[in-house]
Chain A
Amino acid sequence: MAEGVKPRVKVPKSASAGEVITIKTLISHKMESGQRKDGDGNPIARSIINRFVADFNGQNVIDVTLEPAISTNPYFQFEATVPESGEFTFTWYDDDGSVYETTKSIEVS
């Protein structure tokens, strides 16, 4: 696992049935592009998060393919419809095989 990777997710705690909510996600990651060289002129190997997925109760909200042009500490903002109470699952996939996952519950009235 790359060092110091930490996700932050902003989801409202509650919503009404069928409401459209805004979700923001941020994760600490260098997103080493593979284009840079070290002090000795040797290329630094690419090491990025290459995929981000947000699901709600098993149904997909967004599935993003990331390339090295995504900035350090990748940020996404998007909307989701919440039909019922449940849990969002956010998953980031690292080039090195690591998977970072975090969940957020939402109460639907």
Chain B
Amino acid sequence: MKKYLVATAAIFAASLAYAGEDSTLAIEGEVFVTEVDAPEHMENVSTLYSGWTFRADETQALQLDDFDNPAFLFLDQAIDQWDTVEGSEGKSCSTCHEDVADFAGLKSTLPRVEDGELVTMTNLVNECVTDRMGAEPWKYSGAKMSAMTALIAHQSRGMTMNVAIEGDAAPFWERGKELYYTRVGQLDMACSNCHEDNYGNMIRADHLSQGQINGFPLYRLKNAKINTTHGRFKGCMSNIRATPFKEGSEEFKALELYIASRGQGLSVETPAVRN
């Protein structure tokens, strides 16, 4: 056990205040909640911080103007896709859904339980693609799906994260919580070791965030494209040298619900910009 503690101490450098503690995220006059009291179900954290607050000034600035934000290139592609007919039924998204803006409020309440199953936005989009359009399902974090889920989630921007965690959702939420605190991989780390115990601290030259997903799908400077929650979970698991679960797996869906619930009260920022 001692060995692991030493290893952990070597990874996390001394505590430093993160970059934008006092800055305000406002886009076209709309102010976003980036810091708020944690919900009751969070036992070890008192204040929530959006991932935006941990970023350097230059990265933060990219999200302050929708033109400067490169994610909108991909949202533009999704707007074209919205009207593109695909599959055997001769339908596009717009055949049934007149205006994508009608999806305001969806991202802030997903994942949710439908007929006993936990569903993500990707599941809902693919249900349309296969059952109603008669097309092949889109790849879970493929370019088309990432852009489309970002466009749909963007309709909820500024709304408050508010997923259901009780009733039908409770067993999924419990499963997600268990995964969040379970140490895995060669580095033997759980989500909580970085994102609960050490947010705000440095991991090499980088600030660890709380791992909030209120800005997803989002644009990362690292790979210059839209990144999904499940794609990011996979990246984290690879970093701690664990074998990642599959995108769209029951494990990642449950984890997504639990992590979304750890952001209850923060504003939806989609599409956010991160490192």
Contacts and interface: CB of A to CB of B under 8 A. Distances in A.
7 contacts: A6-B76, A26-B70, A28-B73, A30-B224, A71-B224, A73-B70, A73-B224
A78 interface: no
Nearest to B76: A6
Interface string B171-201: 0000000000000000000000000000000
A8 B66 CA distance: 11
A24 B67 contact: yes
Contact of B67 (A6, A26, A28, A73): A26
A72 interface: yes
A97 interface: no
Interface string A52-66: 000000000000000
Interface in B58-74: 67-68, 70, 72-74
B84 interface: no
Given A24-B68, A26-B67, A75-B68, A8 B224 contact: no
Given A72-B224, A73-B224, A28 B68 contact: no
Nearest to A31: B224
B238 interface: no
Interface string A36-80: 000000000000000000000000000000000001110100000
B77 interface: yes
A30 B143 CA distance: 13
A73 B224 CA distance: 8
A71 B74 CA distance: 16
A73 B68 contact: no
Contacts of A10: 67
**Range of interface residues on B (Cβ < 8 Å):** 10 to 19
A71 B70 CA distance: 11
A71 B224 CA distance: 9
Interface string A5-23: 0101010000000000000
Contacts of B74: 28
Contacts of A6: 73, 76-77
B77 A8 contact: no
List of 6 A-B pairs having minimum Cβ-Cβ separation, nearest first: A72-B224, A28-B73, A10-B67, A73-B70, A24-B67, A6-B76
Chain A CB within 10 A, most for which of B70, B73, B74, B224: B73
Nearest to B70: A73
A27 B143 CA distance: 17
Nearest to B69: A26
Contacts of A24: 67-68
B220 to A, nearest CB: 11
A4 B67 contact: no
A56 B213 CA distance: 43
A10 to B, nearest CB: 5
Interface in B112-143: 143
Contacts of B68: 24, 75
A72 B74 CA distance: 13
Given A4-B77, A26-B70, A26-B72, 20 more contacts: A4-B143, A6-B73, A6-B76, A6-B77, A8-B72, A8-B73, A8-B76, A10-B67, A24-B67, A24-B68, A26-B67, A26-B73, A28-B73, A28-B74, A28-B77, A30-B224, A72-B224, A73-B70, A73-B224, A75-B68
Nearest to A30: B224
A29 B131 CA distance: 33
Contacts of A71: 224
A4 B144 CA distance: 11
Nearest to A5: B73
